[in-house]
Amino acid sequence: MKRFALAAALLAATLIAVPPADAKTFRWASQGDILTMDPHSQNEALNNGVLADVYETLVTRDKQLKVVPLLAVSWTQPKPTVWRFVLRKDVKFHDGTPFTADDVVFSMQRAQAPSSNFQIYTQGIDKVRKVDDYTVEIETKGPNPVLLDQLTELRIMSKAWAEKNKVTAPQNFIQKEETYSARNANGTGPYMLKSRETDVRTVFVANPNWWGKREGNVTEVIYTPVKSDATRVAALLSGELDFVLDPPPQDIARLKSGGKIKILEGNENRTIFLGMDQHRDELLYSDVKGKNPFKDLRVRQAVYYAIDEAAIQKNVMRGLALPTGSIVAPQVRGYSKELDKRLPHDSAKAKQLLAEAGYPNGFEVTLDCPNNRYINDERICQAVAGMLAQVGIRVKLNAMPRATYFPKIQKFDTSMYLLGWGVPTFDALYSLQSLARTVGPGGDGNFNLGRYSNPQMDARVERIKTETDRAVRDRIIGEALAIHNQDVAHVPLHHQVIPWAMKANVDAVHRADNRVTMNWVTVK
């Protein structure tokens, strides 16, 4: 009997103590650090991407970016404004507490709190209520065709844990104490936060009790911010890093040629375009007085004809761009290939249009441009300035860092600007509402910085907001995109192509929102 007990104990010990057959560490870097571990505090791309492996959501996106179940196993829509979600059972948080409907209700309310930065994803959500332990209902203020897209960013945290650590509201900036959830995490995801030294390193370990299916083989993830471009590339070459999210574009060719490094290029769903002030009767920054040339469709078309996007793609972007005539990228719902046609590069035609509009000698205008936001943003603007000069539009370039650029243009303090628009919901509404809808309350036209306005467009955007019939909705989106093209509301340039650099023995899955999913990474 004693011997049996001993054997059982030994067996149990080996079962517990055996280390994973091969422990794989994945060390990666990008320019800046993860800002916070709080799932409802900072709505920032890197932060959202990393937290998605720690905190899970009701629904998520698969490799093709389709919305698929995660913590919710299924859902129904009893009424157009009521969604009922059945939750996954036997899911546990990292601290061992079981996941129930209470956590969902709590997390949704937390994301709606005044100090949350995720209200963009909770808009239209009216009430969230628990039906039973594994069923919740979300009531929306009106029919909401993009609710599931919004839910992919609303991460679920443990109610009990939040109450215990006094973090029932996201970070409040005025309080003097550090919020516990800023440097501690407790989600249900495949990776658990092991240690966090801000700006130095953040370490995650695989969650041994995770409910889901592991697709990668990484047992430990170390994230290090490395600010200097040259150092980041050097560390990849010297083998101190396995993966760099943002290799400098000018180094790509050199990295490829070495053979030790693999470059994975993927299309981001971010569109780079030019905007023009179409609202004021006189431009703020131009030598044309008493009238606004950009109000004339022919002038906007002339700008379009003047731009040689193929040259930008080749010489400025070195191939890392997908030239486009569409304001939404192909991954976005509502995109249509027929509407993705650029006006051809034709300087003569541009000059002729300018002359017809009454500017045979062109005019002068200032182009505002960020210099640290998009890939090669300032150099794109320089190229555009050169091309416009050839048809007589003399461009004064005003490039500045993002922290000053966005406050300036968001006050409509611009005559012409360059902007890049990514679509986290993967739905064209997000672009059309922000960029082309007449400026108004509730996010309407919040980045329509040239204040383009067309009632035809507005009517369609309003219908897209509430239309739940997928086919009808797609058709209306197509109409809106066609109106956008006819009006030259913006001059689209290209969709960004994002290169990732990694060691030859690393496999990762590129996502159009530039996120590294740790669970999809394999280190050979």
Instruction: By CB under 8 A, name the binding residues for another protein.
Output: 32-33, 35-36, 38, 41-44, 114, 117, 119-120, 171, 173-179, 182-183, 197-201, 224-228, 230-232, 234-235, 237-240, 372, 401-407, 410, 424, 434, 442-443, 446-447
Q: What is the DSSP letter of 359?
A: -
DSSP string computed for 180-204? GGGT----SSSEEEEEEETTTEEEE
- Of 383 and 423, the one with the shorter C-beta distance to another protein is 423
Q: Closest approach of Cβ 238 to another protein, in Å?
A: 5
Helix (H, G, I), strand (E, B) or coil at 366: strand
* Distance in Å, CB of 241 to another protein, minimum: 9
Q: Closest distance between another protein and the C-beta of residue 327, in Å?
A: 16
Q: Which is nearer to another protein, 189 or 422 (CB)?
A: 422
Minimum distance from residue 421 beta carbon to another protein (Å) = 8
CB nearer to another protein: pick between 57 and 434? 434
CA-to-CA distance for 280 and 295, rounded, in angstroms?
9
C-beta closer to another protein: residue 344 or 401: 401
Q: Which is nearer to another protein, 336 or 438 (CB)?
A: 438
Nearest approach, Cβ of residue 350 and another protein (Å) = 31
Query: How does DSSP assign 118-179, residue by residue?
Result: -HHHHTTEEEEEEEETTEEEEEESS--TTHHHHHTT-B---HHHHHHTT-SS---TT-SSPP
Q: Rank residues 19 and 114 by Cβ distance to another protein and give the closer one.
A: 114
Q: Smallest distance from the beta carbon of 403 to another protein, in angstroms? A: 3
- How does 214-232 read in b/e, with b if 16+ C-beta sit within 10 Å? eebbbbbbbbbbbeebeeb
- Name which of 57 and 207 has its Cβ closer to another protein: 57
Minimum CB distance to another protein, residue 330 (Å): 21
Give whichever of 119 and 331 is closer to another protein, judged by the CB atom. 119
Cβ neighbours of residue 367 under 8 Å, at least 6 residues apart?
274, 381, 384, 385, 395, 396, 397, 398, 416, 417, 418
Q: Contact at 8 Å (CB) between 237 and 22?
A: no
Q: What is the nearest approach in angstroms of another protein to the Cβ of residue 402?
A: 7
Quickly tell me which residue has 């050169």 as its tokens: 386
Of 122, 110, 108, nearest in space to 170 by CA: 110
Could you tell me the two tokens for 91? 């899911």
| Nearest distance in Å: CB 64, another protein | 24
* C-beta of 195 vs 390, nearer to another protein: 195
390: nearest Cα among 453, 348, 423, 432: 348
Q: Which residues contact 318 (CB under 8 A, 6 or more apart)?
A: 249, 250, 252, 253
Residue with tokens 């000698």: 361
